Structure 1
Amino acid sequence: MRFVVGDGFTLPDLDGRDVDATFHDTPDGALARAGVSLRQHRDGTWTLLLPRRGRELHSQAAGAGVVPPDLLDAVTAFRRGADLGAVRTVRSAVHVSSAAGGVLAEVRLLSERGTGRRPRRVEVLPVDGTPEDLARIAGALTAAGAVPDPDGAAPPPEPDDSAGAVLTEALRDGVGRILRHDAFARLRETMPNGDTPVHQMRVGTRRLRSDLQTFQALLDPAWSRPLRAELGRLAGALGGARDIEVMRARLHVTAAADPLVAVDAESVGRIDAALAGRQETALSALDEALRSPRYVQLLDALTRPPRLVGRHGAPAGRVLPGLVRKPWRQLVAGADALTPELPDDDWHEVRKLAKRARYAFSWVPGPEAAVLAKRVAKAQKVLGEHQDAATAADTWLFVARFLDRGDHRLAVTAGRLFERERAAVTRARAAFPAVWAAVCEENTTAWLK
């Protein structure tokens, strides 16, 4: 949020603490736009505040104005090679505190660029504040004389906007998910809800690749095809790390699935330890990918406006339904052909088709597309459980053979885990016809015909 203020404006009492430090940013303010705050305190120490999770990183002094290497790495996705320097426009800043002592938002009073004297605007960088918290802060600023700046943030495309505007927002959403979670993936942190930044970055990457393919008729292929290829490389690095995350979490759920028939805890621990070693290898490969020049170049390309062609200027409601019919037809053909006797890979292919269709429907204006997207999501969830169980079943046997062929207890444990996973596969196959029938109801799909 941004506000315009007059010469005599001072920040009101926001129930927070003053930040006495020198702020650093790129020349174009990329960190501030992303809600990131990097500053050096009077004693020379540094603090990096990352948005939406209240995560503060601290580093010792590295010399006046010299950003410590760990903090410099953490903001790679935001600065993308640009130099960092002292921000002369910040006159004062306050961290608005929650009752528990966390940071709801950072509120900055900024001067006219280059003068350092007259206040000109206020920026509110959300951290852990809810919409209600931010509304309260905005109300206090408005009461003190600040005027909301309508140019501070571009509104999302409306249903009546052009197809190109909606597509631009779709791509912005995907790359935004990557940017928001990049630093946390480097820090190898788990999110409060149990999710992981690796998962969210993978979702962003997959959505971008899917949207670039579905809406390719609106994009210059010389621009979009290289991006899809580079996103594929990034998806591979993220997928290697994410797949093991899923398997490690599933191992313990499957082991505890039947408390009346307990599996050997020591053997489960050995399997988990083997997966942990593989996970470390995968995370190291991901670290290398995130620190490569190709990754920075990819983000640079994705954060620029897309090269639009074709009917991008026409209303989205007239253009986009026609573009999503192809992924829908592919999904129908694949799902209708599924039978309980088909191999796991055939079921997995339909899951991928469902994911692409759901991503496509989510950008088509109108309630009909939203309803269909939700129903496809339910079918995708069943197919996802099928894929996770099938993959896990093979994983438990493979790891057990890899660890020790002569360990009887380990072999028995892996066999029991395998049987539970294959039972889950059977249940998913039995559940799918009903959820797929709900997807195909005439009142849900009529708009696609």
Structure 2
Amino acid sequence: MRAQATEFLRALRLHRENGAGAPVADHTDAPRALRRAARRISGSLHTFQALLDGDWSEAIRPELAWLSGTLALEHAYASRLDRLLQALHRLSGPASPASPASPVSAGYPDPPPPGLPAQQSADRGAPDRGALTVGAAKAGALLDRQLTLARTRAHSTALQALGSSRFHAVADKVAVLASDVPLVPGAAGADLRPLAAAAEDRLTDAVAALPLVTAGSPYNAAALIHGLSPDPSPHPQDTPWHQVRLLLRLHRYAREVVVGDDTPVGVRLLAAGEALDRHRDAAEAAAAAAQAARTPRIAPATAYALGVLHADQRHEVEAARYAFQHCWRKEPAGTP
């Protein structure tokens, strides 16, 4: 925690030296480094809270979550727009002569997973490109306008947050943490392994409780029925998967504390994390497409293109769930 607090302060100094900071595309920009350090400190507080002063932990954890969430929005909107525009181009552009309905476009590995009916795979990769092309340009322009505006507002919000008294209060607490971790009496020599094991157990239980036993097969029609409906409410099956993604991240952080961050992360955990990241990105992109489709007085062709885009991203959600279940069933390698 002292090391992460030091990283936080180093990123804060970089931010102050650079003024407004580097653009979002720069992977070394100060706001991203601040967010990363805040997220890791918060993760350690969550897992090892029994060893830390309770009042102090309860006071700083919500503030770190606020900071991390605020700083994440600008990059999230930029990535979402890029994902949706690429998907629109793929769906409305000319089909590949070699593979007009390649399962790769559905997010499935190559070769296609067993159990996916051939007709479903063909339907997945071959929308009505003629009708789709008519509205794709306007759909892309609408998404660009909406998400660019959201990104600009998120950028302004992040700058305001970094200049606020609330942020300075968080920075002061982290500065103290860099030199003095508020431990409870007797915590200095405590064994951290049981607490890290408890974080892994929470992850295992959450995976076991996922609402989709059918995610073990590559086509989950029950989820798509709701996902492709006009209901504007969030997909009821997405939240438990997002929770698993959070718990997987906490497990990885706890593992780094126990075995050291120099120990390589197992392929199974990396693949599971990547699948859950794709799941989150596709679910949020689908929601953005659905929100754009509810814009008043848009042309039918534009609404059609956005509907196809929404369906495409919900299929990507199901593909990510299948990929997660596929890699999670593999036995972990014999690493510490």
TM-score between the two structures when normalised by the length of structure 1 = 0.54
Q: Which residue of 2 aligns with 1:380?
A: 273
Q: Which residue of 2 aligns with 1:56?
A: none
1:422 maps onto 2:314 in alignment: yes
1:343 maps onto 2:237 in alignment: yes
**One-letter amino acid of the counterpart of residue 315, structure 2:** A
For the aligned residue pairs, the C-alpha RMSD in angstroms reads 2.8
Question: CA-to-partner distance for each residue in 1:220-274, whole Å, 9 max, x for gaps?
Answer: 2232221112212223322433432231222222223343247422320221111
1:229 maps onto 2:123 in alignment: no
Native 8 Å contact 2:275 2:320 kept in 1: yes
Report the secondary structure of 1:413's partner residue: helix
Q: Which residue of 2 aligns with 1:391?
A: 284
Native 8 Å contact 1:397 1:414 kept in 2: yes
Q: For residues 183 and 284 of structure 1, what CA distance do their matches in structure 2 show?
A: 18
Q: Which residue of 2 aligns with 1:364?
A: 258
Shift of the 236–255 alpha-carbon distance from structure 1 to 2, 3 Å rule, reads same
Which one has a larger percent helix, Structure 1 or Structure 2?
2
Q: For residues 291 and 257 of structure 2, what CA distance do their matches in structure 1 show?
A: 41
**One-letter amino acid of the counterpart of residue 168, structure 1:** R
**One-letter amino acid of the counterpart of residue 215, structure 1:** F
Q: For residues 257 and 9 of structure 2, what CA distance do their matches in structure 1 show?
A: 15
Q: For residues 246 and 215 of structure 1, what CA distance do their matches in structure 2 show?
A: 33
Q: For residues 293 and 211 of structure 1, what CA distance do their matches in structure 2 show?
A: 25
Native 8 Å contact 2:5 2:37 kept in 1: no
Q: For residues 360 and 377 of structure 1, what CA distance do their matches in structure 2 show?
A: 15
Q: How many residues get paired?
A: 272
Q: For residues 408 and 386 of structure 1, what CA distance do their matches in structure 2 show?
A: 29
Q: For residues 283 and 25 of structure 2, what CA distance do their matches in structure 1 show?
A: 27
Native 8 Å contact 1:331 1:353 kept in 2: yes
Cα offset, 1:216, TM superposition: 1.7
Mark the runs of 5 or more structure 2 residues left unpaired by the alignment.
Answer: 95-128, 216-222, 224-235
Report the secondary structure of 2:271's partner residue: helix
Q: Which residue of 2 aligns with 1:268?
A: 140
Select the structure with the greater relative contact order (CA < 8 A; seq sep ≥ 6): 2
Native 8 Å contact 2:24 2:75 kept in 1: no
Q: Which residue of 1 aligns with 2:174?
A: 302
1:443 maps onto 2:334 in alignment: yes
Q: Show structure 1 runs of 4+ deviating over 6 A.
A: none
Shift of the 411–200 alpha-carbon distance from structure 1 to 2, 3 Å rule, reads farther
Q: Which residue of 2 aligns with 1:186?
A: 20
Q: Which residue of 1 aligns with 2:37?
A: 204
Cα offset, 1:351, TM superposition: 0.8
Q: For residues 429 and 396 of structure 1, what CA distance do their matches in structure 2 show?
A: 20
Shift of the 185–276 alpha-carbon distance from structure 1 to 2, 3 Å rule, reads farther
Which one has a larger percent strand, Structure 1 or Structure 2?
1
Q: Which residue of 2 aligns with 1:122?
A: none
Mark the runs of 5 or more structure 1 residues left unpaired by the alignment.
Answer: 1-166
Give aligned-pair identity as a percent: 27
Q: For residues 327 and 185 of structure 1, what CA distance do their matches in structure 2 show?
A: 38
Report the secondary structure of 1:441's partner residue: coil
Native 8 Å contact 2:73 2:154 kept in 1: yes
Q: For residues 217 and 400 of structure 1, what CA distance do their matches in structure 2 show?
A: 47
Cα offset, 1:336, TM superposition: 2.2
